[in-house]
Structure 1
Amino acid sequence: MRAAVVTEFGGPDVIDIQDWPEPQAGKGEVIVDVRLTDLIFVETAIRHGQHGGFFDVQPPYVPGNALGGVVRTVGEGVDPDLEGKTVIGHSKGFGAHAERAVAVADQLIVIPADLNLETAVAVFGDGFTALMLEELAPDLTGKDVLVTAAAGGMGILLVQLAHRAGAHVIGAARGQAKLDLVKAQGADVVVDYSEPGWEKSVLEATNGRGVDVVFEGAGGKLGATAFGVVKDNGWFSAHGAASGGFAEYDEDDARRRGITVKGIVDLRADTRTATVSGDAVIARALKGDLIPVVDRIFPLEQLADAHRAIENRELLGKALIRVS
Structure 2
Amino acid sequence: MRVIGIRAFGPPEVLGVDERPEPEPGAGQAVMAVETAGVGYGDVIVRSGRYPVPLPYVPGIEVGGEVVAVGPGTDRSLLGRRVVATTVGNAGGYAERALVPVAWTFPVPDGMPLATALAVFQAGAVASGMLSAMRVREGETVLITAAAGRIGSLLVQFAKAGGATVIGAAGAGKRAAVEDFGADHVVDYGTEDWPDRVRGLTGGGVDVVLDAVGGEVAAQALRAAADGRGRFGVYGFASGDWLSLDAQEIARRGLTVAGPLGMVFAKPEAEQRADAERALAAAADGRLRPRIHATFPLDRAADAHAEIEKRRSVGAVLLTA
What is the TM-score normalised by the length of structure 2? 0.93
Deviation at 1:254, TM superposition (A): 2.6
**Alignment pair present for 1:239 and 2:228:** no
1:191-230 map, 5 Å:
191-207=187-203, 209-230=204-225
Partner Cα distance (1:248, 1:167) in 2:
28
Size of the aligned set, in residue pairs, is 317
Report the equivalent of 2:54. 58
**Alignment pair present for 1:31 and 2:27:** no
Report the equivalent of 2:113. 116
1:130-279 map, 5 Å:
130-176=127-173, 178-207=174-203, 209-231=204-226, 232-263=228-259, 266-267=262-263, 270-272=266-268, 275-277=271-273, 278-279=276-277
Q: Any idea what SS the aligned residue of 2:306 has?
A: helix
Report the equivalent of 1:8. 8
Q: Which segments of structure 1 move beyond 4 Å, counting only runs of 4 or more?
A: none
**Alignment pair present for 1:319 and 2:317:** yes
**1:240, 1:247 within 8 Å by CA — same for their partners in 2?**
no
- From the superposition, tell whether residues 281 and 160 of structure 1 become closer, same or farther in structure 2 (CA, over 3 Å): same
Partner Cα distance (1:306, 1:127) in 2:
21
What residue ranges of structure 2 are gaps of 5+ in the alignment? none
**2:109, 2:284 within 8 Å by CA — same for their partners in 1?**
no
Percent of residue pairs bearing the same amino acid type: 37
Report the equivalent of 1:302. 300
Q: Any idea what SS the aligned residue of 1:51 has?
A: coil
- From the superposition, tell whether residues 287 and 65 of structure 1 become closer, same or farther in structure 2 (CA, over 3 Å): same
**2:130, 2:264 within 8 Å by CA — same for their partners in 1?**
no
**Alignment pair present for 1:40 and 2:35:** no
Partner Cα distance (1:289, 1:246) in 2:
32
Partner Cα distance (2:262, 2:148) in 1:
24
**1:238, 1:261 within 8 Å by CA — same for their partners in 2?**
yes
Deviation at 1:137, TM superposition (A): 2.1
Partner Cα distance (1:273, 1:137) in 2:
19
Partner Cα distance (1:49, 1:282) in 2:
33
Q: What value does the CA root-mean-square deviation take over the aligned residues?
A: 1.7
Deviation at 1:130, TM superposition (A): 0.1
**2:15, 2:302 within 8 Å by CA — same for their partners in 1?**
yes
Partner Cα distance (1:269, 1:296) in 2:
28
Deviation at 1:256, TM superposition (A): 4.2
What is the TM-score normalised by the length of structure 1? 0.93
**1:68, 1:117 within 8 Å by CA — same for their partners in 2?**
yes
**2:129, 2:264 within 8 Å by CA — same for their partners in 1?**
no
**Alignment pair present for 1:103 and 2:96:** no
